[in-house]
Structure formats: C-alpha cells, structure tokens
Structure 1
Amino acid sequence: MLSAYLARIGRTGPVAPTRAGLDAVIAGHLAHIPFENFDPLCGIVPDLAPEAIAAKLIDRKRGGYCFEQNALLRDALRAMGFSVETLIARVWWQKPADMPPGPWSHMALRVRIGDTDLLADAGFGGCVPPQSLDMALRTPQATAHETYRFRDVPRAWMLDARVKDEWAPVYEIRHTTADDAEYAAANHLTATASFFATEVTLSRTTPDERIAIKHNRLTRRGPEGIRDQHVLAPEALAQTIAAHLGLAVAPEWLPILARAAKTEPAQ
C-alpha cells in the first residue's frame, strides 16, 4: 500500500520520519487527493476499513472526507516509521459564536517526533492546515495559507485560524482519545445527518492556492486572498470538478450536480 500511496501523492522516493518529511507528505496528500463528499450525497456511508479506503482513494483516485483521509494518512505515516495517534474533534468553523456545541465529528492526527507532538490533518476541506502544527505552542504558527494557533479550553485544545485579521475557531480537539466504535458512530452521523449528505462540498489545497466548490460556486484563494470566485453554469460544473479537483465525474453524480447547479450558496 505504501508505494501506491506515495505514487498517488506525487512522491517518487522514500520519506524520512522527520518533520520535514511529514510536511512533504501532508502537502502531497492535500494537492493530489481532494476533499469530497459524493458518497454521502449518494446515500452511502463511507466504509472505514483500511482496504476499502485504499481502494477508493488510491486505486480509484477518488477523494473523501476526514475519516477516510486521515485514516489513510495515519496508516501511510505508520508504514513510514512515524508514531501516530488518532484524535477526535468538534467542529466550530464558520458556526455562530452562540451556537450550542456540536458532536465530536472530526478525525485528526497527532504525530510524535522526538519530544514534539504535531497536529497533522488531511481532511478538513478549505481550512485544513497545509502543514504540521506544534501542539505545545500557544503562539501563532504561520503557514503558506492561514496562520493558526492553539489555545487551551476545558478538557480540550482549540485550534483557531486567522482570517481577515481576526481569529476564528476551527475545531476543538478532545484530550481523551476515541475508540473505533466512536469513530464509526461519528462517521455514520456525519454521512447521514450533516450537510455532507445534502451539499456538494469539494476542495483541494496546493502550496499556492486553495480551490473549493460549494454547491455551484468555484472559489480559488491564494495567500493574498480570493483570486477568483464565480457561479458555474450547469454544463460547466462537471468539467470544472474534473479540471480543478482531478475527479472523474461518475454518472450517478450527475443528478446531484444538476441540483447543485440550481442552488447558489449564501454569500
């Protein structure tokens, strides 16, 4: 699996279990394996068995959401010699400040290199950290895209991102770990009872830009801000997904895209 994974993310040689190696893997993963939710949109709960994830994201060159993306990244990193632990988080990104806490519904990873614990994430869509972040630091950590910071909240760490000169919460990482049953329940809930079951949500992050499609709107954003944002005509949506996300549009996705083309997201 490891050699196929490395080829999928554009790596031509082995990766040393160092922070530089970790960041290179994260960057390659984000650039080559898009975030996408077509399985939930088709009424399918993603299969989290390692062989099913590898078949989908590597062999069939699909993407996926956090449980698939980070499970694949975890297994690949372990095969490279990294020490990796799964984490469970609660999403706050783009939610009103007075909204009640939601479920623990996001998987992320903690990678230990020497005495340093690093957050690694390949499955948070348009605001995914594009490199590892030092979980012990409480000062801002700049990346090629947003600047991030950790702060302590009760029984958890909160990850914030700086957007338009303001800090916004991204997700809250629980101190206690989750077991397979909790991830399975969170995966089922996310696939069946969240916006992933109803809204086209696609993205890809390269070192130079973030590309996202929400419903029928394409947004391309670089470190300097939005470069392009426009609503896609119905006939252009499938072609744009293929061109910018690298996904071959399956026939069963076409009715979903037809509906999305008529539903402009809120500004």
Structure 2
Amino acid sequence: MSQKVNLNAYFERIGFAGSIAPTLATLETIHGLHPVAIPFENLDPLMGRPVQLDQASLEQKMLHKGRGGYCFEHNTLLMNELRELDYSVRGHAARMLWGHGEGGASMISHMVLVVDISGSSYLCDVGCSVFTLTAPLKLRDGVEQQVGDNLFRLSKVDDLWRLDVKLGEDWRGIYQFEPVEQSEGDIAAINSLVEKEYYSRALLFAARVDKEVQYALSGNRLSIYRAGQDPERRYAEDVAGLRTMLADVFRITLPTGEDFEPALQRVLTAAPARATVD
C-alpha cells in the first residue's frame, strides 16, 4: 500500500502476539484487543483541531502519544493494519440510529469495515462509542450473534444493512450502512463534515471497554455498563472533573495546549441544554 504501516508499533499498542495469518481467528484476536487498548475520543474536533487520517498521523497520535480517536481514525487505522496483513477490507459510511429514532441521524457520521475471509464477510467496527464491538460480526441477514454480554443482529433492509442490539425484550437500532465501498476521498469528505459538527455543537464523546465493563461519556455524563445491572451514572461538574474522567476512566493522555480546557468548558456549558439518550 502507499502508506507505510508499522505493524510492530500497532501490535505493541494493543498487546497482540501470535499468528499473523489472515484468518478469522487472527481477526477476532485483533478486533478484541484494539478497543480495550485504544479508547474512543473526539477531543481533537472538539478543540477545532483537524483530524488527520493519513497513516503517519494516526500512528503518531494513537500508537505513540497515548491518545484515542473517533470512528474515522479507529477504523481507518484498523483497515490499514488489516490490509498490511493481506486481508480484503472495505470501508463503508454509516448513519447512526441510536438516539435518533427510526429515521436515523440527519447526516452520515460513522464509518465501518467489511472484511472478506474464505467466502464470508464480517462487519468490523472498533470505533463506535455506542455498544463497542469487541469481535467481528458475520454479515448474515437476521442471525443473532452474541458478543460479550450483548446480543446483536444484522438485518438487510432494502439496500441497507442495519445493526441492532437487544435490550431486555426489545431490539434497538445502532446504525445502518450501504454495501457500497467508500473511497479514501469519500471518507475524508465525511470526516470533514463530522469534525465541524462536533466542534460547532460542543459534542464530547469517549468510550472504553474493560473486561466485563463498558464506559461511555456523553457531554459531562459518564455511563458505566455492567452485565445484568442498570447503568451507573456519574456527572462531571467542572473542567477538573472532566479532565479526571478522561484521564482516569478512559486512560487518555490528555492533549496539551491552551485550547483544551476552554473546549471542555464549552461542553459543560452546552450539557444542561442538550437532551441526552440512555
């Protein structure tokens, strides 16, 4: 590929050791390790800093500086690493359903991957802040698939694939995507729109998985999910509280610069006026 990929640095960051043969077993191992080691966070667009999707920038930020990233960064990084390992990988644009009703969000704002192995296709997504996947899902219509404590289902609806999660007795939509591969330029264009949206609306999101616990930050609200229990909620009341959550709960090496704390203050100012969705 045109961009040099440092597999050793990636493997060290996620704690991978073992066979690098392009098999389902290798994919499952990498997919499980990645979201545990590298958190989801959108601090750069929140601060108005451009999100760079070239491999060198992704490696510098996510592998060497102790930062995380959001969907375009996570899944572009994973796509490049998997292609270096000789997997067949395609990037797809997705529309979020979670928190937006059946019609979905007004704009396409997410990126997912489809990996082909031995005649079967698998949905891979290490960059979703909602119900973070820790394993690939077989791209089969209507089949329920268990990942950790969550039961997922992929459905083919017209020309779209839809991902749902089962909560209690109900299925709730997470996102939907077209089976059309997006080019590098397509992804860059969508990314540019999303980073501007995050900045203009002072939207802060972070997520991390840790064994049997999932952590999710939306604005100043931290949600902690444990199997069989109601979510635990905590709220950051000030900039210092947000800094502590980001560093201690999500294990993010916080960015430096005079634009960081004012960005967190914008989140706190916007949070009371913005409705949140559990």
Are the equivalent residues in 1 in contact too, given 2:204–2:219 (CA < 8 A)?
yes
CA shift, 1:212, in A, is 1.3
CA shift, 1:48, in A, is 1.2
Compared with structure 1, are the counterparts of its residues 100 and 71 closer, same or farther at alpha carbon in structure 2 (3 Å cutoff)?
Answer: closer
> What is the identity, as a one-letter code, of the residue corresponding to 2:249?
H
2:228 corresponds to 1:224: yes
Are the equivalent residues in 2 in contact too, given 1:45–1:192 (CA < 8 A)?
no
Stretch of structure 1 that moved more, 108-117 or 186-195: 186-195
Q: Sequence identity, in percent?
A: 28
> Runs of 5+ in structure 2 lacking a partner?
1-5
2:123 corresponds to 1:123: no
2:17 corresponds to 1:18: no
Residue matched to 2:154: 150
CA shift, 1:123, in A, is 0.9
CA distance in 1, matches of 2:233, 2:213: 13
CA distance in 2, matches of 1:184, 1:197: 20
Q: SS of the counterpart of 2:110?
A: strand
2:44 corresponds to 1:50: no
CA shift, 1:195, in A, is 7.2
Matches within 5 A, 1:129-144: 129-144=133-148
CA distance in 2, matches of 1:35, 1:220: 15
RMSD: 2.1
> Runs of 5+ in structure 1 lacking a partner?
none
CA shift, 1:46, in A, is 0.6
TM-score, normalised relative to structure 2: 0.88
CA shift, 1:113, in A, is 1.4
Are the equivalent residues in 2 in contact too, given 1:130–1:145 (CA < 8 A)?
no
CA shift, 1:100, in A, is 6.4
Per-residue Cα deviation, 1:4-61 (whole angstroms, up to 9, x for no partner): 0011112244434222221211121101111111111111231111111111111212
Compared with structure 1, are the counterparts of its residues 68 and 186 closer, same or farther at alpha carbon in structure 2 (3 Å cutoff)?
Answer: same
Residue from 229, 253, 261 that aligns with 1:254: 261
Compared with structure 1, are the counterparts of its residues 196 and 212 closer, same or farther at alpha carbon in structure 2 (3 Å cutoff)?
Answer: farther
The alignment covers a number of residue pairs equal to: 266
CA shift, 1:196, in A, is 8.1
TM-score, normalised relative to structure 1: 0.91
CA distance in 2, matches of 1:96, 1:118: 26
